Amino acid sequence: MVETIQWTDGGVVMIDQTRLPLEEAYVTCRTYQEVATAIRDMIIRGAPAIGVAAAMGVALGALHADGGDLDRQMDAVCETLAGTRPTAVNLFWAIDRMKRLYASMRGKPVEEIRRALVEEALRVREEDIEICRAIGRNGAPLVPDHATVLTHCNAGALATAGYGTALGVIRAAIESGKKIDVFAGETRPFLQGARLTTWELVQDGIPCTLITDNMAGHFLKSGRIGCVVVGADRIAANGDVANKIGTYPVAVLAMENNVPFYVAAPISTLDLTLAEGGQIPIEERAACEVTHIFGRRVAPDGVEVRNPAFDVTPARYVAAIVTERGVARAPYEESLRKLVERP
């Protein structure tokens, strides 16, 4: 399995997701500022992977803090990392987890604090892989045998510390003996589906077909798709799901064609402080991601552009939300809260 992100003596090493699949290159982040840049520039992306990167960024920040006011320096580290991408709540979840540990160690020797923060960041990474496997185990029974699964964006090993959430469900279904294949939507403008999901699946020998985003309705209507499985960046208390732009139309088309639409995500992606999806901050990215493809202009100079990176799928389109603690179904206010409160 591909290593998305690793802690090494030389720094935080990430596979460069802007260069896949043409090049398998690795980037080493030696400072927390470099980790923040890697998150913002999508060298690493995908909600859980962003969380792991942020945790490691906080640990790097502590390692490189000078002899001055550590509290003030740690605040600056956390603020910089929190300012990278606004939608995936896993980013804030991971920073809060590191902050809580730091606060609990106030007054301890700096070396001890540094060691503890590094260990915690490594734990966030290890736990993420275990969580993905549990999501896979819980979701596999939902996938019909001898069916095609449609997915959008990349919610695979590359979007996590390993194994994936939506692709974790697909991997676990195959490991349980089911014969399934995958349709991957290309996911304009960053092409996570075309570049990353297909790369992962081809590497694993999982049968996979690439389609453009505007083909989803055609194939959902054809009867070929047994279910849709996608990941999530933030899930509100009522079950509304923010995920990669283009997820919402897939969900609507799935319901129209009686195809179940499943969301696979860790508990750390739930944001029960938000009552509904309209409150989720949606990242707006640079216009050049839309006007250009691989650095080549495809739209006229000066044209107005919108580039929201995520959309919100209302809970009524979501057949189930698969987490590491179990499967939630409507009414989500109740079922999600129960999962969160479960020890």
Task: Name the burial class of residue 10, with classes exposed (0-12), middle (13-18) and buried (19+) by CB atoms within 10 angstroms of its CB.
Answer: exposed
- The answer to whether the beta carbons of residues 264 and 139 sit under 8 Å apart is yes
Which residues are known to be catalytic? 233
Is the Cβ of residue 172 or residue 232 nearer to ligand MRU in the bound state?
232
- Report d(CA 162, CA 323) in Å as an integer: 16
Contacts of 71 (CB under 8 A, 6+ apart): none
- The answer to whether the beta carbons of residues 238 and 275 sit under 8 Å apart is yes
| Shortest Å, Cβ 323 to ligand MRU | 12
| Shortest Å, Cβ 266 to ligand MRU | 8
| Shortest Å, Cβ 47 to ligand MRU | 4
Phi, psi dihedral angles at 64 (to 5 degrees): -100, 5
Nearest Cα residue to 321 out of 312, 331, 310 = 331
| Shortest Å, Cβ 227 to ligand MRU | 16
Is the Cβ of residue 200 or residue 233 nearer to ligand MRU in the bound state?
233
Q: Using CB under 6 A, list all residues that contact ligand MRU.
A: 45-48, 88, 153, 155, 159-160, 165, 192, 231-233, 243-244, 309
Is the Cβ of residue 148 or residue 151 nearer to ligand MRU in the bound state?
151
Is the Cβ of residue 74 or residue 264 nearer to ligand MRU in the bound state?
264
Q: Using CB positions, name the residue nearest to ligand MRU.
A: 231
Q: Please confirm whether the linkage preceding 141 is cis (ω < 30° from 0).
A: no
